Every structure is written in structure tokens, then in C-alpha cells.
Structure 1
Amino acid sequence: MLSDADQKKIKDLRLTAFAQKFFELTGEQANERLTPEEVFMQAVEHAVDTRRGRRIDKLILQAGFPLPTASIAQIHYLPGRKIDEVRMRRYLSHEWRADPKNLLIISPTGGGKTYLACAIGVAACHTEHTVFYRRMDDLVRDFRLAREDARDYQRLLIKLRTVDVLIIDDFMTVGIDQQGASELFAVLSDREYTLPTIIASQTDPEYWVSVIPDRIAGDSIVNRLATNTRWLPLGALDMRKQLGD
């Protein structure tokens, strides 16, 4: 039996989750048949799981998802949606850093592309990848505001270039100026073949080229997004109507 002084020593190590589980195990008569090693390892495994859960919660919070509770397990595989369940479940354990292919989710309004993008992003957080979600209009505003301060500008570019999984939603639903197109091109160039970008959009690459003011930058952006890429075109099913929202 551990003395109060012994328990204080363990708590002073700031191993809170380990200490709590360890005291719980050593205080239960049902665990008297466990060896000291078994008790110790059960407490260690509990502490590891607790710390991992906290890391995942932090990654999800930092990602900025509009739907942080989105889950691949909750995706509706309705006829006409054109979503393969086996493929989606692979994203639960996908190693994005080792297989940095882009993903394009193309869907009409109401098709559920935002939920799908968030669900895949949340799954990436659960495999301890860093994720950053941004709608296109917010990203355009981020670029514009960051240009006013050199340090903010560099921080934004570094974040966009180095995050494990970058998600841009509502891609090209708002206009982008020539400088913004150049900045987007630079980010995608740095990520090409190194880190994946997930694009969710109502439109296709042919349209993107037509609305980007700089044709050369437009061609380069689309080429980088469409090369080394997996496509996920959704059907025309309106999920808002289906789910009664």
C-alpha cells in the first residue's frame, strides 16, 4: 500500500492521468492478483491514451472546422450520392504525410461537401496530423489583411505551406485578385508532391481557370491541383432536403 508521501511524490512528477489510474488500480481489492508490472503498465497505457486524446482535441480545435464533430462514421451513403463507403473508411487511418495526394471534392450546392471535407479532416486529426480548414472567401481576406504586416504575412504563408492537410472549401466561389492568385500558386507549389491539399468546390477546374485573373497563374494552380490528385465527385442529391435542414 502506498503511503501519502509516496502518492505525493508521484503527483509532484505531474503525471496526473497516470497517478489517478495507478492509485485507482492499487486501491481496488479486485486488482490484488495483478503483478506490480501489470498495474504499472495499465496506468501507463491509461496515461498515454489520455494524453493522445488531449492532443487530438487540440488539433481539432486548431484546425478551425465549422463542423468539428463531423465524422466519417456518420456519412450517409444514399443511392445517387456516389460515395464509396470502403474508400471513405480508408481515410480513418490514412497516412497523409506518406501519401500526399490532393483530394478534390466536387459537389453542387447542398451536396454535403463541407461535411465530407470536415469529416475527412477530423479523421486526419485523429491520426495526429495537423489540419487547417479555410473557406475561400476567408482565405482571400486572410491574404489581404496579412499583407499589412510582414510578420503576419510570413506566419500565414508558413502555416499554409507546412500544415499536414490544408482544406480549402467553397473553392473559387468568390473572386481572387492577381496578387492573391500568385500567393495561392506559391503555396500550392510548395505543397506539391510533399503535403496534400483538399479542395471542396461547386465548380470544376475548367471554371477555375476562367475566373482567375492571371491566366498563367490560373493554369499553374489548376495543374497543381489536378495532378497527383484523387477525385471525389458527388452526385446531385441535395442532402439538406434529404435530412430536413
Structure 2
Amino acid sequence: MGATGTEKSYLGCALGVSANRNFYSTRYIRLPDLFAELAVARGEGSFQKIIKEYKKVKLLILDEWLLLSLSYSEARDLLEIVEARCGRGSTIFCSQFEVKGWYQKIGDETIADAICDRIVHNAYTIILNGDSLRKIKRSVEPE
């Protein structure tokens, strides 16, 4: 968890590379891309197949976690993914928001509670503080 530019995605991917080098199946996806994939799968009749694929992955890295508020169908689809993975694999959530802010982003209180309940009880939280590294990198680059 951390502000924009604190390298949450970089850390998540580094952990993913390490897991992959240790022969753990790993998948990285931005949350908006996951929803697009699930919407297409639902339309093509392969939704359950996609859910099973995400269920099998040992480490799933979800970037841009709840950056935008969810529609009801997105919240429902997210619950399907979280439920399918519960107790079966690890998931990294790269987020700018604390868990208490997730409820508002998910929207439906019951679904939000179900999602958060499956995530937070066995979670480790890493908080990244500091200025945006993009800003810092720009200030030290030669002109």
C-alpha cells in the first residue's frame, strides 16, 4: 500500500519474479484488465474456465487494486475470484488505499464485507512511504 509512484507495482512484480524463479506459477494483471477479461469470458461462455485458471495460480498479483469504484457486476466478479483463491494461493494487492477505503470503492456493503473478510485475516501489509520515485527520477536526469 502506498501513494502514487512509491513503486508498489515494482515490488509486486519483483516478488512475482522471485516466486516464478522458485517454480511457483505467477500471474500479474491490472484490475481493470481483469474485469475486461472476465466480461469477455462471460459473453463467450467461458467465465467459469477463467475463474478456474485464476484459482490454479499460486501467486496472483492484482495491480491498480480498487483505483476506481466498481460496478455491481465487477464487485460480484471480484468476489468470485477472491473466493476461488481463498486458502489456495497467495495474492498481492497493489493499492493506494487502506482496507477501510475498499468498502466505498467496492460499493455493495455485503459483497465488500465478503471480499475483505477473505483477504485481511491472513494478510501481511507492506506500507510504502515517500515521494513519487517518478518525480525523483525526473529531477536527477540530465537535461
Give the structure-2-normalised TM-score. 0.90
Q: Aligned to 2:28, what secondary structure does the other structure show?
A: strand
1:201 to 2:95 alignment: yes
Name the counterpart of 2:123: 229
Name the counterpart of 1:117: 12
1:140 to 2:35 alignment: yes
Which residues in structure 2 correspond to 1:1-245 (within 5 Å)? 106-151=1-46, 153-244=47-138
Q: Which ranges of structure 2 fall in alignment gaps of 5 or more residues?
A: none
d(CA) in 2 for partners of 1:174, 1:218: 14
Post-superposition Cα deviations, 1:35-74, rounded to whole Å, max 9, x if no partner, equal: xxxxxxxxxxxxxxxxxxxxxxxxxxxxxxxxxxxxxxxx
Letter of the 1:229 partner, please give it: A
Is contact 2:68–2:105 with CA below 8 Å preserved after alignment?
no
d(CA) in 1 for partners of 2:43, 2:86: 27
Structure 1 residue 222 displacement after superposition:
1.4
Is contact 1:167–1:198 with CA below 8 Å preserved after alignment?
yes
Give the root-mean-square deviation of aligned CA atoms: 1.4
d(CA) in 2 for partners of 1:172, 1:241: 23
> Bigger relative contact order, structure 1 or 2, given CA contacts below 8 A and separation 6+?
2
Max radius of gyration: which structure? 1
Letter of the 2:38 partner, please give it: F
d(CA) in 1 for partners of 2:25, 2:17: 10
Structure 1 residue 233 displacement after superposition:
0.5
d(CA) in 1 for partners of 2:132, 2:100: 23
Q: Aligned to 1:115, what secondary structure does the other structure show?
A: helix
Moved beyond 4 Å, runs of 4+: none
Structure 1 residue 199 displacement after superposition:
0.3
Name the counterpart of 1:18: none
How many residues align? The count is 139
Is contact 1:157–1:187 with CA below 8 Å preserved after alignment?
yes
d(CA) in 2 for partners of 1:215, 1:114: 27
Post-superposition Cα deviations, 1:168-195, rounded to whole Å, max 9, x if no partner, equal: 0010012322122122112212222221
Structure 1 residue 145 displacement after superposition:
1.5
d(CA) in 2 for partners of 1:172, 1:154: 23
